[in-house]
Amino acid sequence: MNTLLSIIPPATRRIDLLAPPFSGHLHPVLALGRVLATHYDVRIISTQGAQERITGAGLRGIALPGDFDRPLLAIANPDYAVKNNPLKLYRQFKEAVGLLVDFASQLEDLYRKGDAPDLVIADFTLPGVGKVAETLGIEWWTSLPSPCVLETPDGPPAYCGGLMPATNRFQRLKHLIARKKVRWFKSTIFWLFRKTIMQTGITQLYRHDGTESAYSAQCILALGDKSIEFDRSWPASVHFIGPALYTPPDSGIEPHFAAGRRHVLVTLGTHLAWHKDEVANAIFQLARTMPDTIFHFTDGDPVANTFKQTENFIRVPWINYETCIRHYDVVIHHGGAGIMYYCLENHIPALVYPVDFDQFDHAARLDASGKGIWIKGGLRSLVQAKPEIERLLGLESPSH
């Protein structure tokens, strides 16, 4: 994070950081805020539902007026898988655009009242913030927890099922076609919603140099480890500053860790509610094949009423990565950026079970770098994952 402090413009005094209330977006911004607050006047702008965690992080928060939390949750945590299904992505985007317009409008009202900062750093899911900042002459940067989603002129694009680096001419052609498909889909969505999107001030999807206008042209803070990223021609605005990891303190009860036993954490993050019961059942079956290992399954929801304990399988509402991750010998996770980097930072081997969004791209990077095992084959592969876990534990049997 020293890199972050070194690139802040010299005349900067106040910095606003903005993010939606979801953990995978808010928590990295809180990590940035805690570093910046040691040198600058920092505010975290989000929704009402994020304020308790902002305060818990020791930071000053501002909640923009309006009912954002309930509709945002419905969009981000639907009762179905999105993956790269065009119709589902279309539906999700359509619902989100209106909220983005309202959020940008509320922010502009706040800043026009004379409460503007010197620098705005916005999570990549809030592209309208950039246009507000540009209109008012405020410097604007983008924070990007998943650098793999950034479009580049070469290499494997994101959201295509976890493409690996090309090793021959055919694969390079496949990547070229995939990049064009991604750009075509984004352009189609932009055209369909152009009237609504233009209300945020965004008039074009790509700049003349080919970079995406949703991200800052000045600085994109890539909150990742460049060593696990595939070789690509990154825009000049990209600055890799390392993972931004932080989980605010909470009042939840930490799980019990039995002395002398191995423990496996299983998490799908805070989203994917539609799939958690199925995965929990698969892990319960897996646990029966490994009676000497204790499995903790977290729902990623502090207010969930899902506690269940049967032999060596325990399902709990919430596990705080910040305080608990070091107690686990292996983590089975969905490929979310937060848990991925918590595992890497703590040198905990991971079995990756991607389900949606950019999770397949993270799984590909972990698998290719030898820092995780990408498990394929759906729920059945989880039930039968004992050999992979034993391999990660260093307990691989002679038959394997």
Whether 209 and 269 share a structural domain = no
Of 94 and 298, the one with more pLDDT: 298
Whether 194 and 267 share a structural domain = no
Nearest CA to 325 out of 306, 348, 302, 308 is that of 348
Contact between residue 108 and residue 81 where contact means Cβ atoms under 8 Å apart: no
- Which pLDDT value is given to residue 294? 96
Is 327 a domain residue? yes
Whether 231 and 200 share a structural domain = yes
Whether 81 and 142 share a structural domain = yes
Contact between residue 24 and residue 337 where contact means Cβ atoms under 8 Å apart: yes
User: Of the ranges 19-33, 185-199, 337-351, which one carries the lowest mean pLDDT score?
Assistant: 185-199
Whether 307 and 205 share a structural domain = no
Whether 14 and 150 share a structural domain = yes
Of 24 and 266, the one with more pLDDT: 266
Nearest CA to 29 out of 293, 248, 196 is that of 248
Q: Which residue has the tokens 């460049």?
A: 226
Whether the per-residue pLDDT at 93 is higher than 50: the answer is: yes
pLDDT band at 91 (very low <50, low <70, confident <90, very high): low
- Which pLDDT value is given to residue 250? 81
Is 13 a domain residue? yes
pLDDT band at 253 (very low <50, low <70, confident <90, very high): confident
Is 370 a domain residue? yes
Of 240 and 304, the one with more pLDDT: 240
Mean pLDDT of 158-162: 94
Whether the per-residue pLDDT at 300 is higher than 90: the answer is: no
Is 394 a domain residue? no
Whether 221 and 360 share a structural domain = no
pLDDT band at 75 (very low <50, low <70, confident <90, very high): low
- Which pLDDT value is given to residue 240? 97
Whether the per-residue pLDDT at 399 is higher than 50: the answer is: no
Mean pLDDT of 195-204: 79
Is 166 a domain residue? yes
Contact between residue 229 and residue 148 where contact means Cβ atoms under 8 Å apart: yes
Instruction: Please report how the helices 23-36 and 337-345 are oriented relative to each other, as an axis angle in degrees rounded to 10.
Output: 50
Contact between residue 296 and residue 264 where contact means Cβ atoms under 8 Å apart: yes
Q: Which of 19-23, 76-80, 114-118, 385-389 ranks highest by mean pLDDT?
A: 385-389
pLDDT band at 400 (very low <50, low <70, confident <90, very high): very low
pLDDT band at 105 (very low <50, low <70, confident <90, very high): confident
What's the CATH code of the domain at 106? Answer: 3.40.50.2000
Average predicted confidence (pLDDT) for the chain: 89
Phi, psi dihedral angles at 41 (to 5 degrees): -80, 110
Whether the per-residue pLDDT at 383 is higher than 60: the answer is: yes
In the chain, how many domains are there?
2
Whether 199 and 301 share a structural domain = no
Whether 297 and 202 share a structural domain = no
pLDDT band at 66 (very low <50, low <70, confident <90, very high): confident
Whether the per-residue pLDDT at 27 is higher than 70: the answer is: yes
- Domain membership of residue 350 as a residue range: 262-389
DSSP state of 206: B
Given 172, 205, 240, the domain boundary residue is 240
Whether the per-residue pLDDT at 397 is higher than 50: the answer is: no
